[in-house]
Amino acid sequence: MNATQLITSKGYPCENHYVTTEDGFILNLQRIPHGKRNTDKEGKTTKPVVLVQHGLLASSTCFLENLANESLGFILADAGMDVWLGNSRGNFYSRKHKTLKPSDKEFWAWSWDEMAKYDMPANIEYILGLTGAKQITYIGHSQGTEMAFARLSEDAELNKMINLFVALAPVANVGNIKGPVKVFAPYSKDIEAFFDTLGIFEFLPDTKVNQWLAKNFCDKEIPEFLCENVLFLLCGFDYKETNMSRVPVYVGHNPAGTSVQNILHYAQSVNSGLFQKFDYGSAEENMRHYNQTTPPLYDVKKIETPIALFTGPEDWLADPTDVSKLRPLLKNIIYDKDIPEWNHLDFIWGMNAPQACYKDIISLIGRIQQ
């Protein structure tokens, strides 16, 4: 089932909206305008408006893949909110462009820099225009938080459009990341040359590569088919929080796709330990893109939007050491919760997520609306 079918099969309404970014990408938003018990007419709304943005290699479905009373998308809708689910450029739902095709190299010439610069503001401006709301709540997971940290550090006007930024597994600087990305990061230039030589610009890991990674990096107790899924390889796996009966659903929808350049940007960030823009590999190329010889840093101290942080001590990608460096730079943290034993994927699929995390989010949104 696709995202629309996941929503309607559980008895919820679904609208598909398409947003064109300034650089020509056509992004698919799924909207759950109301829950099962509360109904509103389409269009203008007085309810809290929420945009939920997925992480690396994922899609809007990650907020829909558990049972209705366990999935963030449905829980927010049943709590009386107008829920919008984002899909980043290049994933399964956002593979269209005004002039380019996925077979074109230029189609994949972007990283999370462009998601932050183009995708996030385009979605928010569209949602505000359609609903008539003055502000939205933005909930990001993983890369979804990175987009927000990046854009809000550079866009004072966007700060005014967001009444609350909920950061699940917050990612900015990733110098202490764990797992395969940490191992391969020092060889990012060689990997880039390898993909470029083969003419591969979309990140779709080869089965043999996955099998090798599984053999060398995966816990022996974890089923082989899970180890060979790149999302679990990169993020780790938590038996205690995972409903094993839902795992085939997770694997069926993930990974949802991204660009090689995006993965390389993460590798660069691991190597530098800095929250900065994509490095084009030479002083000349960086000068051409940025008018300086090195990639510009993102300055998160400039963010004005109220922020709620949700972290986990076992998180491979939003490592506690990296989060501890980020935290003092954020001047408007209104809530900060570390959930014991949680890892990166527990924020979207954890069996205890409704009690440990989502009820707090609903309470925060209620407070910010008053």
Residue extents of the structural domains in the chain: 3-369
Report the sign of the C-alpha dihedral through residues 368, 366, 342, 181, in that order: negative
Span 331-356, pLDDT tens digits = 999 999 999 999 999 999 999 999 99
Q: Which residues contact 148 (CB under 8 A, 6 or more apart)?
A: 53, 116, 120, 138, 140, 165, 167
The two tokens of residue 232 are 């679990």
CA distance 171 to 262: 14
CA distance 71 to 249: 13
Confidence band (pLDDT; 50, 70, 90) for 230? low
Helix, strand or coil, per DSSP, at residue 189: helix
- How confident is the model at residue 225, as a pLDDT? 57
Which residues form the catalytic set? 142, 315, 344
Is the confidence at residue 215, as pLDDT, over 70? no
- Spell out the SS3 assignment of 298-351: CCHHHCCCCEEEEECCCCCCCCHHHHHHHHHHCCCEEEEEECCCCCCCHHHHCC
Q: Which parts of 22-94 fold into alpha helices (H)?
A: 72-78
User: Is the separation of the CB atoms in 357 and 155 below 8 Å?
Assistant: no
Bridge partners, 50 (sequence order)? 83, 137
Tell me which of 48-62, 125-139, 226-240, 295-309 is least confident: 226-240
Q: Which residues contact 71 (CB under 8 A, 6 or more apart)?
A: 63, 64, 65
Residue 59 identity (one-letter amino acid): S
Burial (Cβ within 10 Å: 0-12, 13-18, ≥19) of residue 157: exposed
CATH fourth-level superfamily of 3-369:
Alpha/Beta hydrolase fold, catalytic domain (3.40.50.1820)
Span 3-30, pLDDT tens digits = 999 999 999 999 999 999 999 999 999 9
Proportion of the chain above pLDDT 70, given as a percent: 91
262 closest CA partner among 106, 56, 25? 56
Average pLDDT over residues 52-64: 97
Count CB-CB contacts under 10 A for residue 193: 11
User: Is the separation of the CB atoms in 333 and 309 below 8 Å?
Assistant: yes
CA distance 53 to 48: 16
Confidence band (pLDDT; 50, 70, 90) for 99? very high
- How confident is the model at residue 41, as a pLDDT? 56
- Angle at which helices 143-152 and 120-131 pack, to 10 degrees? 80
Average pLDDT over residues 80-90: 98
